[in-house]
Amino acid sequence: MTINVEKEVKKFHKQCKSLGQTLMENHNEVPMTVAVLTQSKGMEFSIGVVPAVGFLYDTENKEPFVDAMKQVIILTKPVAIAFISEAWMVKKAKNDTYDFNIPVSKQEDRKEVLMVQIETYKDTSLTIYDIIRDGDEVSLELDMEETKISKENVGGMFSNMLKENYEQFHLSIEEQLKKSLN
């Protein structure tokens, strides 16, 4: 069973990267796009793109988007969730200083990237492509890809969004075990 989940999550990650690349190829931009991997009671897996939630994403006020995502998670109970979007990123060595008072979009050494972040109940995967713009031409270059990042090493507004969902799932399994023992 776990092997099937791992295999499906890996396939989901590949499909989400492909979606981001295709959006960039066809439209020269990638708006905030959210995809979910769900599993039916019959144990079949399916992938869905969550419509309209991405339109709530605002770099100045992320709360409406986060609140909507919490509702999506409650309704769909995903095995994995993906955030696919353009972003500004600044890379620094651990010992380098960084001025957190200046937004990333205003940093001098920022770069434009396409990010594909996948969260599961136990880890996170992150793929980052550098966006290279040459007039109307846009291309992507793989910057980094990291899979199975421990939850302890991930932070931010879009991390651990599935936590409540899995805590409820864990409690329901415990309840089912208690009932079956009686």
Q: In this model, does residue 129 exceed pLDDT 90?
A: yes
Calculate mean pLDDT across residues 69-87.
87
CA geometry: angle at 79 spanning 73 and 169, to 5°?
75
Calculate mean pLDDT across residues 140-156.
76
Q: In this model, does residue 17 exceed pLDDT 90?
A: yes
pTM: 0.79
Q: Which residue has the higher pLDDT, 143 or 102?
A: 143
Q: In this model, does residue 32 exceed pLDDT 70?
A: yes
Strand partners, 33: 84
Q: In this model, does residue 23 exceed pLDDT 90?
A: yes
Q: Which residue has the higher pLDDT, 6 or 20?
A: 20
Long-range contacts of 118-121 (CB under 8 A, 24+ apart): 118/9, 118/12, 118/13, 118/16, 118/80, 118/81, 118/82, 119/80, 119/81, 119/82, 119/158, 119/159, 119/160, 119/161, 119/162, 120/9, 120/79, 120/80, 120/162, 121/79, 121/162, 121/166, 121/169
What does DSSP say about strands 123-134 and 80-89: parallel, antiparallel, or unpaired? unpaired
The predicted structure's pLDDT at residue 107: 86
Which amino acid, residue 36? V
Q: In this model, does residue 170 exceed pLDDT 50?
A: no
Q: In this model, does residue 100 exceed pLDDT 80?
A: no
- Domain positions in the chain are 2-181
Q: Which residue has the higher pLDDT, 78 or 42?
A: 78
